[in-house]
Structure 1
Amino acid sequence: MDNATFNLIYNAMIETLLMVFVSGLISIILGVLLGIVVFITRPNHICSNKIIHASLSSVINIGRSIPFIILLVAIVPLTRFIVGTSIGTSAAIVPLTIGAIPFVARLSEALFSEMPYELIKASQAFGASKLQIIFYIIIPESISGIINIATITLITLVNYSAMAGTIGGGGLGDIAIRYGYQRFDLTIMIITVCLIIILVQIIQYLGDYFSKTFIDKRIQKQ
């Protein structure tokens, strides 16, 4: 591999990491918060509100129904409004984030639904406020599951970021398409695929490690 090819792939890797982790951080934070709101506004819950619950659930379902490749094109005007361009790494972060938020929100709601409701009722009986229940009961009790959701989301965003290369989003996907596919460069195609596989394996390993660490700490405290 010559220096030009190395620099090309190195820069693409940096772009992929930037896209995945910036969009991942934003979407995980907003998605988990959205999942909490949908969860606590369920009927007979601590902030029961049928209108908010139904509205947010519908928005999440609509967001999850749109294929990512269509979303990339559909929100080009919004992307251009936010970052000033529709091409490049910064532009790709916008659809990546918007596409991942509903995904994280639905997984988070399902995670919180597994929590014993008796635990929340007991907290209310001891006089805990709604915010205290959210930040001292719901989130801490679900932290291991949230880490698993974050792991799944980051891996999904790796795949999405490769897809963003089809519209000039940059990253490994862009290099694989422009140089590996369109210019029939098998070497670059193999290298980019291998790097994506390695990146996914590292994310999965770290996610499993931190999830297990939190579980072990909780067991030790008990």
Structure 2
Amino acid sequence: MRSSLDLNELWQMIATATLETLYMVGLAGLFTLLIGLPLGVLLFISRRNSILPLPHLNALLGTVVNIGRSLPFVVLLIALIPLTRLIVGTTLGSAAAVVPITLGAIPFFARIVENALDEVAKGRIEAIVSMGGSGWHVVSKVLLPEALPALLAGMTLTLVMLIGFSSMAGVIGGGGLGDLAIRYGYQRFNQPVMIGTVVVLVLMVQGVQMMGDRLVRRLAHRR
């Protein structure tokens, strides 16, 4: 591929890479929410003085989550190559990148969920328990509704992180804007491609953050 591109070719490449990035972030965000939310709830309710005290399980889950959070994402990308190949059948492309991106984000979001639930007033929890409410009632009627603004803010932060993860996945051929920037921008010294991908990534992050902040403010105002 030649080093210079006309404007139409440049925008076509960036548009394709942007769709791949949105695909990775959207799918990874969905899986992160589906797995990270219950994991964070379990971390909170299994504390020693919580509504379902399981200290040994809590310690095990906490250790796993801490290990997952402590690993640099680039190291995680490489370490998960065998698992990615087992699940997807390949280690290249946007679909393959979803696996390490999701597994990298789940521990982070689980801690966000745990911390958000920790901000709920203990009196509300005690009131439900004193009236004979089960653990499920506490979670569904008090914890999640009361922590919803904080959870939404945490999910916004997680989506921003996922955009960064999707860019780093380009190191192993994960597709998207990061892959485009590395292969056609950095390695081929194509400055317009580098600038274009950076601009799109910045706009993407700003858009997600602005929409998330707006939704959080609306929820907080209604409450």
Same fold (TM over 0.5): yes
- Are 1:182 and 2:187 counterparts? yes
- CA drift of 1:29 comes to 2.6
- Are 1:45 and 2:50 counterparts? yes
Partner of residue 140, structure 1: 145
Aligned counterparts, 1:99-118, within 5 A: 99-118=104-123
Unaligned runs of 5+ residues in structure 1 are: none
Partner of residue 208, structure 2: 203
Whichever residue aligns with residue 20 of structure 2, its letter is E
Q: Match for 2:28 among 23, 27, 30?
A: 23
Whichever residue aligns with residue 192 of structure 1, its letter is T
- CA drift of 1:113 comes to 1.1
- CA drift of 1:179 comes to 0.9
Partner of residue 7, structure 1: 12
- CA drift of 1:6 comes to 2.1
Q: Compute the RMSD of aligned alpha carbons.
A: 0.9
Partner of residue 60, structure 1: 65
SS of match in other structure, 2:53: coil
Partner of residue 173, structure 1: 178
CA contact (8 A) 2:119 2:147 kept: no
Unaligned runs of 5+ residues in structure 2 are: 1-5
- CA drift of 1:5 comes to 2.3
Q: Match for 2:196 among 191, 194, 200?
A: 191
Distance 1:134 1:217 in 2: 21
SS of match in other structure, 1:127: coil
User: Number of residue pairs matched?
Assistant: 218
1:84-132 deviation line (CA, Å, top 9, x unaligned): 1111000000000000000001111111112121210111112211111
Q: Percent of counterpart pairs with the same letter?
A: 44
Whichever residue aligns with residue 160 of structure 1, its letter is F
- Are 1:122 and 2:96 counterparts? no
Greater Cα shift, 127-136 or 59-68: 127-136
Whichever residue aligns with residue 203 of structure 1, its letter is V
Partner of residue 3, structure 2: none
